[in-house]
């Protein structure tokens, strides 16, 4: 068994795809419109689905915004240079919501950014 993907519901699919490609450097792996169901699925990742875990963005055509609730935590991405990565996010118009530094009660260097829908993405220094 292996972990295949994480699914997020997004209000503006184009804006979300742009963020994950241009700001976080993922690739759009596939995109399918389900016209009868009025939704689109887009799969993005750093590797192909056969070799890595990917992100599934679900856009329900009649929903512009979601309430994130209080159960969702974050997606984590490992990076070689967390400081450069945060600078890149800011330079590309992304939002850094926690600057790089040691995690509370630990020594791992982490930072958090936010996607257009408000989902948190944690960067972890390799």
Strand partners, 31: 42
Q: Quick check: 42 and 59 in contact, CB under 8 A? A: yes
Question: Which residue carries 């689109």 as its tokens?
Answer: 40
Q: Which domains does the chain have, with CATH numbers?
A: 1-61 (3.10.180.10), 72-125 (3.10.180.10)
Per-residue pLDDT of the chain (126 residues; tens, 9 = 90+): 889 999 999 999 999 999 999 999 999 999 999 999 999 999 999 999 999 999 999 999 999 999 988 888 999 999 999 999 999 999 999 999 999 999 999 999 999 999 999 999 999 999
User: In whole angstroms, how far apart are CA 94 and each of 78, 86, 118, 121?
Assistant: 18, 9, 11, 11
| Cα 43 from Cα 61, distance rounded (Å) | 17
Question: Which residue carries 């329900």 as its tokens?
Answer: 60
| Cα 30 from Cα 125, distance rounded (Å) | 29
Q: What confidence score (pLDDT) does residue 71 get?
A: 83
Picking from 21, 46, 33, the residue whose alpha carbon sits closest to that of residue 115 is 21
Q: What confidence score (pLDDT) does residue 1 get?
A: 85
Catalytic residues: 122
Q: What confidence score (pLDDT) does residue 70 get?
A: 84
Query: pTM for the whole thing?
Result: 0.91
């Amino acid at each position: 068994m292996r972990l295949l993907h994480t699914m997020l519901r997004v209000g503006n699919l184009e804006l979300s795809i742009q963020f994950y490609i241009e700001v976080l450097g993922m690739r759009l792996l596939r995109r399918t419109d389900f016209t009868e169901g009025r939704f689109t699925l887009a799969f993005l990742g750093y590797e192909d689905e056969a070799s890595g875990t990917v992100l599934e963005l679900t856009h329900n055509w009649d929903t512009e915004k979601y309430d994130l609730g209080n159960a969702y935590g974050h997606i984590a991405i490992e990076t070689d240079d967390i400081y450069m990565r945060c600078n890149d996010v800011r330079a590309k118009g992304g939002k850094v919501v926690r600057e790089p530094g040691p995690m509370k009660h630990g020594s791992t260097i982490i930072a958090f950014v936010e996607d257009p829908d408000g989902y948190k993405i944690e960067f972890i220094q390799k």
